[in-house]
Amino acid sequence: MPDVPALETNVSLRPYNSFGLPALAQRLVRVRAPEDVQRLLADPDLARLPRFVLGGGSNIVLTRDLRALVLKVEIPGRRVLARRDDAVIVEAGAGENWHEFVAWTLEQGLPGLENLALIPGCVGAAPVQNIGAYGVELKDRFDSLDAIDLQTGDALALDAAACRFGYRDSVFKQALAGRCLITRVRLRLPQPPTAVLGYLDLERRMADTGITHPTPRQVFDWVCEIRRAKLPDPAVIGNAGSFFKNPVVTPEQCRDIIARDPAIVHYPMADGSFKLAAGWLIDACGWKGKSIGQAGVYEKQALVLVNRGQAIGGEIVTLAQAIQESVYGRFGIRLEPEPVVV
């Protein structure tokens, strides 16, 4: 068997997490092919170490150095696997940049992912989080994925049912949390393409421009413009995008909150429940623009926590907890963070 990938020691993780938080990986290995994982697991010295899978680092809050062996996923590759009457199947390596992959599909004349443009992170993390934006979730376009069980070394192929997708949730955050390394993801792009334009911001763009039937490229450009107007660029201001999930409440809870705060932003769900805008709840509690130490709430969008320059992970966590307490005290709702706190 070929040698295992090179082991790097005391690697700064500041460039590898979108918050730009200081932390060291005591040991790090770059995984550039599925076979690299098999070699690692066959190495007696490395196999006994605890492991931490790191993709694009856009959904984590690092509060300390990592003693575990960090598996930095850098598996490349994009290809069209199959063209059928009802769909085109495309595949990407888990280390591919998600936004660049979305742009690539449009360059191939394959729409379907344009609503998910400019979401930070890599392809392998997309199923873990069941990423979603502007009316589309990953599960709506998902076909299957390949992964490796880090306990047994077995190769796994999981379909949508096996992934147990939920709102910003999947089996990889539940039963398989910390157990799998995703290597490749396959997506199903419906044919003929159907634009998803029901989201309020996109409806406003159509009204403002007079374009009632935008092309996929126009939707892609609109989504990028909307996101850039609302969310800071992690390369400029450290952040992990939306920090809290939008809470889902019962009709009774929603009516009770509306009675006290008629302006609350809420959306009906298919099952009769209501999704509340977490950013509105945070803003209503007065947090927009506020800071604790070097951790702050973004001035343009209260749902985003930012690194004001030299924040440490503990400050991000302290700020998040203070916001949670405020929202619970006023609305009786517990906000759930999206990023993983390490």
Q: What is the pLDDT of residues 295-330, one digit of tens each?
A: 999 999 999 999 999 999 999 999 999 999 999 999
Give the residue among 300, 246, 298 at the shortest CA–CA distance from 274: 246
Region of 52 (left: φ > 0; alpha: ψ -120 to 50; beta: rest) is beta
**CB 312 within 8 Å of CB 22:** yes
State the amino acid at position 35 in one-letter form: E
Rounded Cα–Cα distance for residues 76 and 139 (Å): 22
Q: Name the active-site residue from 18, 58, 144, 242.
A: 242
Residue 277: exposure state from Cβ atoms within 10 A (0-12, 13-18, ≥19): middle
pLDDT of residue 190: 95
Of the candidate ranges 76-80, 240-244, 292-296, the one whose mean pLDDT is the lowest: 240-244
Q: Is 272 left (phi over 0), alpha (psi -120 to 50) or beta?
A: left
pLDDT tens digit string along 250-264? 988 888 888 888 888
Q: What is the pLDDT of residues 172-211, one digit of tens each?
A: 999 999 899 999 999 999 999 989 998 889 999 999 999 9
Question: CA 54 to CA 324: how far, in whole Å?
Answer: 27
- pLDDT mean across residues, the chain: 93
Q: Is the pTM of this model over 0.85?
A: yes
* Cα 114 from Cα 133, distance rounded (Å): 10
Pairing of strands 51-54, 66-73: parallel
Q: Is 39 a catalytic residue?
A: no
- Alpha helix (H) ranges present in 231-277? 251-260
Q: Which of 30, 12, 157, 77 lies closest to 40 in space, CA to CA?
A: 30
170 carries an active-site annotation: no
State the catalytic residue, choosing from 30, 51, 141, 168. Answer: 168
Span between the terminal Cα atoms of the chain, in Å: 33
* Catalytic residue, candidates 8, 225, 336, 338: 338
- The model's pLDDT over 212-260, given as tens digits with 9 standing for 90+, comes to 999 999 999 999 999 998 889 888 999 998 999 999 989 888 888 888 8
Q: Is 333 left (phi over 0), alpha (psi -120 to 50) or beta?
A: beta
Give the list of residues 6+ apart from residue 85 with CB closer than 8 angstroms, or none. Answer: 191
Residue 212 CA to residue 197 CA, distance in Å, equals 9
Measured distance CA(54)–CA(106) in Å, rounded: 27
* Catalytic residue list contains 168: yes
| pLDDT for the residue numbered 230 | 86
